[in-house]
Amino acid sequence: MTNFIQKNISKTFKLLQGCLGNLHFRAYQNLCLTLLTLCFSLFSYVEAWSQDGTSALRPGVLELKVGDALPEDLWNLSLTVINHPEGKQTIRLADYKNKPIILDFWATWCPGCITSLQNLDTIQRELPNEVVIIPITNDNVQKAEAFIKERGWQLPTVVNNSILQEYFPHKYIPHYIWVNQEGIIEAITGAEPVNRANIKTVIDGRNLDVANKIDLLSFDSKKPLFIDGNGGSGTAIKYRSLFSEAIPGLFQTISSVISDTINHTSRIYGINCRALTLYSLAYQKLQSFPEERIEYEIKDSAKRALFVTTKDGQTSKNHLFTYELITPLNASDKVRERVGVDLQHFFGLSARFERRLIDCYVLTALPTLKHAFSKGGERKDNLFGEQNEEKYIQNQTIDFLSGYLNEILPLAVVDEMSYRGTLDLKFPQPDIQNLKPLQEALRKQGISLEKGNREIEFFIISDN
């Protein structure tokens, strides 16, 4: 193809010289320069085409696989060679029919290829009539010849032949095609199975039991693994930590630690979650922890905004995250510890439970509490009903009352009551400016609500 273009360019220049002899020298020079540029572009295109191994030159070429017979057009394909012991410039695979053939795709820049090819050159000298080893390289002729000569190799090497790349597409080298005496592809492998024992197996006509090499031709190392199938579906992942933006079309979901004993992995995830919800994956107690006992000691306003809602109570889509962790099979607490480490690295924040001494209200039981023991019946209340009406709880626990008080009182409420049964209580609407009516009503029913100082557990998220 290249020789054809060169000959025609030469003829075109001679024709131009004859036809344009009367042109002004500058015009003639500019025309020649334009033609040279066009020719250079054509050469560059042909070279890139050859390196890509595209099948556009041979639309009928089909990828050959293990078990396929070599087609006649491949047997008779003229292959350009260097380093041939008889000085030949071309060979055909048909020249070696009825012998085992090993095609070795290699390059001068590939250390593994060089080590293996050195060994194959030795084996070929030992078995000159039993097997045919044909190295194939895309390196240019001068570079390949100098490289082979320096090492004293005797193997003839195929150069400048993209058609073989089309029959045997691959992404990584060394790449070996094993063809048996019947012209059937016995195996396609990497370097590891290429040894005397396996070569002798093929020579003896026995089946070659080796792992076949499969290259993912569409793999792009510049793109993330397993996204859009880049590298496969990801079903064999053993460890992965993933953060992303919200996934449209999915609701907020969090999981427990999921143990897969078949694949020996543990998995936990949170989909379309606020940052604080992700922290509840690492610190499970947060899932029922009072929000008023969560402190944000974060100076960066952008980071702080991740944990607070807008004035209308909505969370920005930019503040929702999706997270997934897959680890080797492990205990749930160990998996959650790993989630905590991931969150620290991703958000650049530290998190911890910490006990702090604070002013608070303390609920304690009085001897008369037995009079408030519930008489049973339906569990109900009106704590969040209309303002200024008398409040009541029926057949509810003290936790229900302390949770309500924690929401409306200016200080935290600490429950120090030992009673864990249910209660029937009545009391006036709490007034944070004057708590005496509430305190007196609760006291009459056996409950003390007084100010005090206590160490209370808080969850702290702070700058590192």
Band of pLDDT at residue 246, cut at 50, 70 and 90: very high
Contact call for residues 195 and 124 (beta carbons, < 8 A): no
Contact call for residues 427 and 363 (beta carbons, < 8 A): no
The lowest-confidence range among 23-27, 369-373, 424-428 is: 23-27
Q: What is the pLDDT of residue 311?
A: 53
CA-based torsion, 35, 41, 44, 45: positive or negative: negative
Q: What is the pLDDT of residue 122?
A: 96
Whole-number average pLDDT of the chain: 86
Q: What is the pLDDT of residue 235?
A: 85
Bridge pairing between strands 253-254 and 265-273: antiparallel
Q: What is the pLDDT of residue 225?
A: 87
Q: What is the pLDDT of residue 59?
A: 58
* Residue 277 CA: distances (Å) to CA of 103, 243, 267, 456: 57, 14, 17, 22
Q: What is the mean pLDDT of residues 359-367?
A: 96
Task: Please give the single-letter amino acid code of residue 320.
Answer: L
Q: Which residues pair with 300 in a beta bridge?
A: none
The lowest-confidence range among 22-26, 56-60, 410-414 is: 22-26
Q: Is 191 helix (H, G, I), strand (E, B) or coil?
A: coil
CATH class of segment(s) 72-203: alpha beta
Q: What is the pLDDT of residue 6?
A: 42
